[in-house]
Structure 1
Amino acid sequence: MKISWFMGYINESIARAANQEDNCTGRFWEGRFKSQALLDEAALASCMAYVDLNPIRANIAKTPESSAHTSIKRRCKEAKKGQQPKTLLSFIGNPRKNMPKGLPFELADYLQLITLTGRCISGDKRGFIEQKQPEILKRLNISADNWLIITTEFRTQFHGAIGHEDVLSDYCEHQQLKRRHNLSHCNKLFA
């Protein structure tokens, strides 16, 4: 089975039902599905934040914890009880040798990063990322300005594999690719 065929099959039934319900025609999803390799922690954190902040950018939610259908809402709800959601991959802290399965960040660092980023992009709130960057940005080696570009323009900035130059080179070599398509954007934004 091919993923393109499978996605087309799913899209058709959803599009027919949605079009009938909305009394319109056309595709349900405006663009084709997208799959990108997230090669390192910076790429992973950037993509997670981009997805978690979609409702804020779309002005559907005022805060990350009030945004429907996001992992950040579920994580915030469980964090109030001192827990992590069982249905989501847990935050396990900084990467180390013999890494257990989980996200290589501290939950508190990620929540702080989302909150600060959300204040920057929300149209109804005035805010900025403070000069004292969250520790997670220092560890990921991303400037506050670049972080804001990445988390608001992730889909337009990157196509294909994403990560720092060394992991991108390793990935391209492993995949026997002759070109590193995202190299200039990755070097610019993850530096």
Structure 2
Amino acid sequence: MPRARSTLISLEDTPYYHCCSRVVRRAYLCGDDKYTGKNYDHRRGWVEAQILKLTEVFAIDVAAYAVMSNHLHVVLYIDLETVNNWSDREVVVQWHMLFNGTDLTQKFAKGDVIEECMVATLKHLIATYRSRLSDISWFMRCLNEPIARQANYEDNCTGHFWEGRFKSQALLDEAAVLACMAYVELNPIRAKIAKTPEQSDFTSLQLRVNAALKGKQPAKLLPFIGNETKLQSKGINFSLQDYLTLVDETGRIIRDDKRGAISQSAERVLERLNIPSENWLKLARDFGKLFHGPVGSLQELTNYCEHLEKRRRHFTSSCQYLG
């Protein structure tokens, strides 16, 4: 039986979560639908645009994403420090980027004087908005609902477009985060709809590669910060170039379906993660099959289960692949 989403989130253990949504109808999210003869590739652009739009609203960063023919993946980072540092007015302004709010919050955003009798109500609304702006359930709701409405309008129909619940899993350590990111970003290559990272349309990997060619990083994605943790408050503590090299070489091995060599720079990442190259390739191919719940070392998984009072630890045998 599915557990309440709140019982699956433990920010004490990790701010990183992998989420996946699938369409419920026969019609594809995108690509060629052999049943109707229509092409839905433009819907992938809808999804990507909405993902990137939400990074400007929520205190949630996107580390990776991939929009496929009948499902989407996102790897999210919940930024509690940012949302807690927002002023009350900033919280309201952020919320109004997606929703109208109430007459009271509209007055507050304009700087109008709030009657004393309404202050308590206003504070309650602000606290609610602040909580929602760092909630992955609200993030996924604001991602999926507009796409469903657009698709239903285009198909001239009503009803569910997405499955009832999106799937989420906690990523409990660095190895789990990078393995999941690589798995997500290599989706088009595994599915043989792209040959290289730069050809993997509607993925965060394509954005990172295109920006890296200009010596930059995408502004709307969680950055790689190497070892510069003192200079930046948040980010992935690995070299972007090393990660791109690792993913590129992994993709070539997977695409050609044969054993290949991992370069020295890519090996540095795996050594830090304490993951043998053969285990890394297994994770990049089969992450979704290996883990249907929280992902991390056995110790991290134990801590997570204890904090959330989960009696059973599923897929513990798969922890061996994470070093």
Q: C-alpha separation between the residues in 2 aligned to 1:27 and 1:155?
A: 24
Structure 1 residue 138 and structure 2 residue 271: aligned? yes
Per the alignment, residue 173 of structure 2 pairs with: 40
> 2:223 touches 2:235 (CA, 8 Å); kept in 1?
yes
Q: Is contact 1:142–1:189 with CA below 8 Å preserved after alignment?
A: yes
1:128 corresponding residue in structure 2 = 260
Q: Which runs of 5+ in 2 are unaligned?
A: 6-136
The question of whether the paired residues in 2 share the 8 Å contact of 1:94 and 1:105 is answered with yes
SS in 2 for 1:134: helix
Instruction: Identify the residue that residue 190 of structure 1 maps to in structure 2.
Output: 322
* Kept after mapping to 2: 8 A contact 1:91/1:105: yes
Q: 1:60 aligns with which of 184, 193, 197?
A: 193
Return closer, same or farther for 1:91/1:12 CA change in 2, 3 Å cut-off.
closer
Q: Which residue number in structure 1 is paired with residue 240 of structure 2?
A: 107
Q: Aligned-pair distance for 1:33?
A: 2.3
Q: Name the counterpart of 1:163.
A: 296
Distance in 2 separating the partners of 1:12 and 1:69? 18
C-alpha contact 2:246 2:262 (8 A) present in aligned 1: no
Look at both structures and tell me which one has the larger radius of gyration over its CA atoms. 2
Contact 1:40 1:164 in 2 (8 A): yes
Q: Deviations over 1:136-179 (max 9, x none)?
A: 00100111111111111111110111011121111111111122
Does 1:176 find its partner at 2:309? yes
* Amino acid of the structure 2 residue aligned with 1:111: L
Deviation larger for 164-173 or 125-134: 125-134
Specify the alignment match of 2:17 in structure 1.
none
* 1:64 CA displacement: 0.5
TM-score normalised by L of structure 1: 0.81
TM-score, reference length from structure 2: 0.50
**Which of the residues 260, 281, 287 maps onto 1:148?**
281
Give how far 1:28 is off.
5.2
- Count of paired positions: 184
User: Equivalent residues in 2 for 1:16-95 (5 A)?
Assistant: 16=152, 20=155, 33-94=166-227
**Runs of 5+ unmatched residues, structure 1:** none
Q: Which amino acid aligns with 2:283?
A: I
Contact 2:148/2:162, CA 8 A, preserved across alignment: no
- Cα pair 1:15 1:27 within 8 Å, conserved: no
> What is the deviation of 1:88?
0.5
Counterpart secondary structure, 1:36: strand
Deviations, residues 31-58 of structure 1 (Å, cap 9, x unaligned): 9521000010000001100111011111
| Distance (whole Å) between structure 1 residues aligned to residue 164 and residue 246 of structure 2 | 29
